[in-house]
């Protein structure tokens, strides 16, 4: 389950802890949070997510920052389009930059999920296949 926070929502550590604590009731469901405001990107938030086994959703988009923090054995990546949200194609060099850490995470026995959300012009399936080929 991916939880998206709006870009205007700034860090509230107490509220976050209450929220992720309640997620433990869904024992068979993994969770990731997509933070869209940079105020969340710190050690206190990372430690809270580790404690409650919630992943950071690494979110690549042109209009909000990306936090490349790994907090669980699940790595969740959402590629919205690097230059044009939901529409831009990822180049081979851009996908190679993702392939490098993905290989490392896989060697660390982490589950890696990559979601291509750059589908407005049909790039998502092509990019997914290209990344899979790079990882073979």
Residue 57: which pLDDT band, with cuts at 50, 70 and 90? Answer: very high
pLDDT at 17: 98
Residue 119: which pLDDT band, with cuts at 50, 70 and 90? Answer: confident
Q: At residue 34, does pLDDT exceed 90?
A: yes
Provide the number of structural domains found in the chain: 1
pLDDT digits (tens, 9 = 90+) for 60-101: 999 889 999 999 999 999 999 888 888 889 999 999 999 999
Label residue 3 exposed, middle or buried (CB < 10 Å: 0-12, 13-18, 19+): middle
Domain enclosing residue 16, as ranges: 2-135
Q: Are 52 and 20 in contact (CB under 8 A)?
A: yes
Mean pLDDT along residues 11-22: 98
Closest CA to 102 of 133, 66, 63: 133
Q: At 92, which CATH number?
A: 3.20.20.410
């Amino acid at each position: 389950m991916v939880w998206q926070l709006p870009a205007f929502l700034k860090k509230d550590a107490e509220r976050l802890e209450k929220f992720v604590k309640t997620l433990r009731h869904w024992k068979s469901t993994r969770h990731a949070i997509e933070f869209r405001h940079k105020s969340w990107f710190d050690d206190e938030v990372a430690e809270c997510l580790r404690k409650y086994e919630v992943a950071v959703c690494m979110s690549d988009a042109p209009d909000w920052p990306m936090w490349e923090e790994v907090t669980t054995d699940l790595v969740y990546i959402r590629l919205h389009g690097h230059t044009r949200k939901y529409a831009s194609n990822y180049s081979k060099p851009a996908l190679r930059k993702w392939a490098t850490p993905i290989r490392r995470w896989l060697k660390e026995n982490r589950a890696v999920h990559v979601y291509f959300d750059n589908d407005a012009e049909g790039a998502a399936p092509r990019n997914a296949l290209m990344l899979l080929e790079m990882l073979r």
